[in-house]
């Protein structure tokens, strides 16, 4: 049986999974915007909302010793989103979604060889089942070829960058509140993306009809999705938290069916079952 805190963390992660699943579908409503533009306004919007919230509900002062680490995490988060949305524009959604959720592999390598932590055999079985199920879910949507190579590399790079964010977040969140951490995290991510845009001549302007989709990206996949993961990483190892988005391809496919009328094949049902089974095993056998 789960303790009360375990149940709370798992509930938060479920909401987080639901939130991040909207990341790619919502971005499809603003196809004319550059990847950096989408990422910038997603981070700027989330940061602005959090700073507005904390202006009303005061937070404690930030430990100065954590400041540099948050700056670094913000830079890597910016690179994660820049690469992810670049992948979405260059490669099939199936490729981008799958390769962008491989952060647990990199956190696992770091935890095993740098921190000398071992993941129980049962948890490892759950992790590989989750990955295998995610591959099955993508089905025939996956394309590996010269035209998709750059997009696939962008998506894979986004996973590497996210793994760094999760590893840093574990250290910071041990003594820092989630709201205090993420308001700075998203601010530095937005500033990094702004610098990239200005140095490369990318236009950050958007039309009024696009505003609602950008706001949706700031709230649903960011404040609900990523904030949930930042909350959970205080209580669970980065590899466990980073594995939750393996359920994203399932929900993203279902959202594509609801929003865009795209079909849901048997591979989604089968692969989804495998992934969810893997995530349950990973969670139960995590200790």
**Residue 36 half-sphere exposure toward CB, CA atoms < 13 A:** 16
Which is nearest to 252 in space by CA: 124, 98, 107? 98
DSSP 169: H
Q: Rounded mean pLDDT of 168-183? A: 94
Read off the pLDDT of residues 231-283 as tens digits, 9 standing for 90 and up. 999 988 888 888 877 777 677 667 666 766 655 567 767 877 788 788 778 87
Read off the pLDDT of residues 76-126 as tens digits, 9 standing for 90 and up. 999 999 998 888 788 777 677 778 888 888 998 888 888 888 878 888 888
- CB 102 within 8 Å of CB 156: yes
Which is nearest to 251 in space by CA: 224, 228, 275, 280? 275
Model's pTM, two decimal places? 0.86
Distance CA 266, CA 77 (A): 34
Distance CA 9, CA 188 (A): 26
Supply the pLDDT for residue 147. Answer: 60
**Residue 38 half-sphere exposure toward CB, CA atoms < 13 A:** 28
Q: Could you tell me the end-to-end alpha-carbon distance of the chain, in angstroms, rounded to an integer?
A: 13
Q: What is the CA radius of gyration of the chain?
A: 18
* Block residue for tokens 């989630």: 178
Which is nearest to 247 in space by CA: 162, 125, 130? 130
Q: How confident is the model at residue 11 (pLDDT cuts 50, 70, 90)?
A: confident
Domain ranges for the chain: 4-120+142-235
Distance CA 98, CA 143 (A): 11
Per-residue pLDDT at 214 exceeds 50: yes
- CB 161 within 8 Å of CB 79: yes
Residue 167 CB burial class (10 angstroms; 0-12, 13-18, ≥19): buried
Q: Rounded mean pLDDT of 155-167? A: 93
């Amino acid at each position: 049986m789960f303790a009360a805190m375990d149940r709370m963390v798992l509930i938060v992660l479920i909401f987080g999974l639901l939130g991040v699943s909207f990341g790619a579908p919502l971005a499809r409503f603003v196809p004319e915007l550059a990847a950096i533009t989408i990422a910038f306004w997603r981070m700027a919007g989330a940061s602005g909302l959090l700073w507005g919230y904390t202006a009303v509900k005061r937070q404690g002062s930030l430990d100065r010793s954590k400041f540099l680490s948050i700056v670094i995490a913000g830079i890597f988060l910016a690179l994660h989103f820049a690469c992810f949305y670049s992948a979405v524009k260059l490669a099939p959604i199936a490729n981008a979604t799958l390769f962008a959720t491989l952060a647990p592999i990199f956190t696992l390598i770091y935890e095993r060889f740098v921190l000398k932590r071992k993941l129980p055999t049962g948890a490892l079985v759950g992790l590989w089942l989750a990955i295998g199920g995610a591959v099955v879910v993508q089905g025939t949507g996956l394309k590996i070829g010269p035209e998709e190579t750059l997009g696939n590399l962008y998506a894979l790079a986004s996973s590497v960058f996210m793994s760094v964010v999760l590893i840093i977040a574990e250290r910071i969140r041990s003594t820092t509140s989630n709201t205090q951490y993420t308001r700075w995290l998203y601010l530095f991510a937005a500033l990094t993306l702004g610098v990239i845009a200005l140095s490369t001549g990318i236009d950050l302007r958007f039309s009024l009809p696009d505003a609602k989709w950008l706001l949706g990206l700031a709230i649903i996949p960011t404040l609900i999705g990523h904030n949930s993961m930042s909350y959970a990483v205080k209580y669970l190892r980065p590899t466990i938290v980073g594995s939750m988005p393996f359920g994203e391809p399932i929900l993203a496919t279902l959202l594509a069916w609801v929003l865009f009328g795209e079909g849901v094949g048997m591979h989604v049902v089968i692969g989804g079952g495998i992934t969810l089974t893997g995530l349950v095993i990973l969670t139960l056998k995590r200790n």
